[in-house]
Amino acid sequence: MDKPPFSDGVPSIGGSTLNYIDGHWEPASNGKWCERFDPADQTVLVARAPDSSREDARRAVAAASRVQDVWRGWTAPERGRRLFDWLRWIDARRDKLAELLTREEGKILPESAGEVKRSMDILEYTAGMGRRLDGKIYPAEEHDVLCYSIPQPLGVVGLISPWNFPVAIPVWKLAPALIAGNTAVLKPSPLTPLTATMLVRGLEEVGIPPGVVNLVHGGVEPGQELISNEAVNGVSFTGSTKVGKAIARAGSERLLKLQLELGGKNPQIVLDDADLDQAVNGVVTGGLGSTGQRCTATSRALVTEKVYDDFLSRLVARAGSMKVGPGVESGVEIGPLVDDRALSSVSRWVRIAAEEGAGICTGGSRVLSPELAKGIFHQPTVLEAKQGMQITQEEIFGPVVAVIRVKDFDEAISVANSVRYGLTSTVFTRDISKVFRFAEMAQAGIIHVNRPGVGGYSHVPFGGIKESGYGGREVGDEVMNFYTETKMVYVNYK
């Protein structure tokens, strides 16, 4: 097979995909494969993908190193034009890409379409940086000296992505990496090989030179090679905090430049004066949307006493009536969990919560109705919890929200900040002074007021603090702090 089966650039569902190294499509050198089944119907094979070894990643890094000078030799506007071509290529196939995403990852079609749209917006903004990648001129301390900075590419970058945003995250890593003049090795999640394959096929078709972008499928092994390989100058990783910490430890051995986007345990505060319809919608969208499988998922609702009962009963009614089913079916609001491991983990957390005394207000189990039994569906679940229980502290990554009663604004802030994560934090209130106090005091990289705590604009920095993020923001102009090094130049022209 000289390349995977594509139809107008779209990989076939149920087919085998390949690695893309130095401009060639090829299987893993060890001959191993991973299989991915449709999470909405596990009897359906979605893809076979190479289960690559360190050797495949090593060869991909070598290819990226060989063409480094070629790619950085292109002017930034030339690189930008190629990324605009990629944008048009994706646009022409956006519905197909969204469908692939839903079949492979499970999220409902409108969410997949939204993810593809966001990826395109980010790509548009980043491609335009080809004409905005500027340095700075500094005042000189001496006469007849010009002091200025040049942003330079790192060289070869490793990009390791998770399964839950398998289009947006590779795009928001590849686009800034390339526009800055870096060459790249993308290692997507083994659960979402087809979307990554399609994105890379697009780059090939718009004429990105061989070796500039390489794709290595597989799990831990090729990922570890990207961390330890001396020819990799930086790694941008999105995934769990546990793996992120392991990468930070391994990377510190050689002072590897790292950008880590990690997990979350995001709170939404609801104060006495909140618009309760908006606040309930905030939790439903933020906590149960995308089946709760978002780093930004709202997994804690902290509600003040006066509105607590009203809020809880409205939330329970809304969550309990949500339609669960395959993401391709219209009207479905909650798709499947990504795999059996995710299901066992969510079930375990619900069990622990119940053992610790949390009340299960709605949901709490796998959906086993005959028409959904072949998929990995879990009921939208609302728990009444007490601060300090494990489910108020740990990321669950499923459609489970813990509602916690708090006395007032001050207690809400202290509970909100009581976790080791700091990705997003949200408040619903009409009190302007509390809005700004919250924005000041909430320990999170992204704050939302009177809107769901998920999503973000495509030209705005994205990322978290505490154990949610490390090494600078993604998206927007700030992303260049990672993908470039600042070189200072002093010129005496006397």
Amino acid at 24: H
Interface with ligand NAD, residue 164, by CB under 6 A = yes
Cβ proximity to ligand NAD, 190 vs 326, nearer residue: 190
Interface with ligand NAD, residue 442, by CB under 6 A = no
Between the CA atoms of 292, 293, 297 and 298, what dihedral angle is there, to the nearest 10 degrees? 20
Of the candidate residues 51, 56, 111, 261, the single one contacting ligand NAD (CB under 6 A): 261
Concerning whether 261 is annotated as a catalytic residue, the answer is yes
Report yes or no: 230 and 254 within 8 Å, Cβ to Cβ: yes
Task: Say how far apart CA 292 and CA 319 lie, in whole Å.
Answer: 12
Binding residues for ligand NAD restricted to 116-155, rule: CB under 6 A:
none
Interface with ligand NAD, residue 262, by CB under 6 A = yes
Considering only 64-72, 97-105, 239-247, 370-378, which stretch makes contact with ligand NAD by CB under 6 A?
239-247
Phi-psi category of 169—alpha, beta or left, where left has phi over 0 and alpha has psi -120 to 50? Answer: alpha
Q: Shortest Cβ distance from residue 235 to ligand NAD (Å)?
A: 8
Task: Say how far apart CA 264 and CA 282 lie, in whole Å.
Answer: 17
Between the CA atoms of 137, 138, 142 and 146, what dihedral angle is there, to the nearest 10 degrees? -10
Cβ proximity to ligand NAD, 122 vs 274, nearer residue: 122
Cβ proximity to ligand NAD, 18 vs 227, nearer residue: 227
Interface with ligand NAD, residue 243, by CB under 6 A = yes
Cβ proximity to ligand NAD, 152 vs 390, nearer residue: 390
Q: Shortest Cβ distance from residue 93 to ligand NAD (Å)?
A: 23
Interface characters, 399-438, with ligand NAD (x: CB under 6 A) = ------------------------x---------------
Cβ proximity to ligand NAD, 241 vs 304, nearer residue: 241
Q: How many C-beta neighbours within 10 Å does residue 479 have?
A: 27
**Residue 258 three-state SS:** strand
Binding residues for ligand NAD restricted to 186-225, rule: CB under 6 A:
187, 189-190, 219-220, 223-224
Concerning whether 295 is annotated as a catalytic residue, the answer is yes
Report residue 106: phi and psi, to 5°. Answer: 110, -20
Q: Shortest Cβ distance from residue 306 to ligand NAD (Å)?
A: 33
Choice among 111, 295, 395, 474 that is catalytic: 295
* Long-range CB contacts (within 8 A, 24+) of 114-119: 115/165, 115/167, 115/168, 116/90, 116/167, 118/168, 118/455, 118/458, 119/90, 119/167, 119/168, 119/171, 119/172
Of the candidate residues 25, 163, 311, 377, the single one contacting ligand NAD (CB under 6 A): 163
Report yes or no: 327 and 335 within 8 Å, Cβ to Cβ: yes
Report yes or no: 343 and 366 within 8 Å, Cβ to Cβ: yes
Phi-psi category of 357—alpha, beta or left, where left has phi over 0 and alpha has psi -120 to 50? Answer: left
Interface with ligand NAD, residue 101, by CB under 6 A = no
# of chain residues touching ligand NAD (CB under 6 A): 30
Considering only 182-190, 316-324, 329-337, 484-492, which stretch makes contact with ligand NAD by CB under 6 A?
182-190
Cβ proximity to ligand NAD, 100 vs 271, nearer residue: 100
Does the CA dihedral 125-458-258-56 come out positive or negative? negative
Amino acid at 199: L
Between the CA atoms of 22, 24, 37 and 198, what dihedral angle is there, to the nearest 10 degrees? 80
Q: Shortest Cβ distance from residue 379 to ligand NAD (Å)?
A: 21
Q: Shortest Cβ distance from residue 218 to ligand NAD (Å)?
A: 7
Name the burial class of residue 347, with classes exposed (0-12), middle (13-18) and buried (19+) by CB atoms within 10 angstroms of its CB: middle
Choice among 99, 104, 111, 261 that is catalytic: 261
Interface characters, 276-295, with ligand NAD (x: CB under 6 A) = -------------------x
Name the burial class of residue 415, with classes exposed (0-12), middle (13-18) and buried (19+) by CB atoms within 10 angstroms of its CB: buried
Binding residues for ligand NAD restricted to 333-392, rule: CB under 6 A:
none
Task: Say how far apart CA 433 and CA 63 lie, in whole Å.
Answer: 56
Of the candidate residues 9, 50, 153, 162, the single one contacting ligand NAD (CB under 6 A): 162
Catalytically active residues, by annotation = 261, 295
The residues that touch ligand NAD, with contacts defined as CB under 6 A, are: 160-165, 187, 189-190, 219-220, 223-224, 227, 238-240, 243, 246-247, 261-264, 295, 395, 397, 423, 464, 468
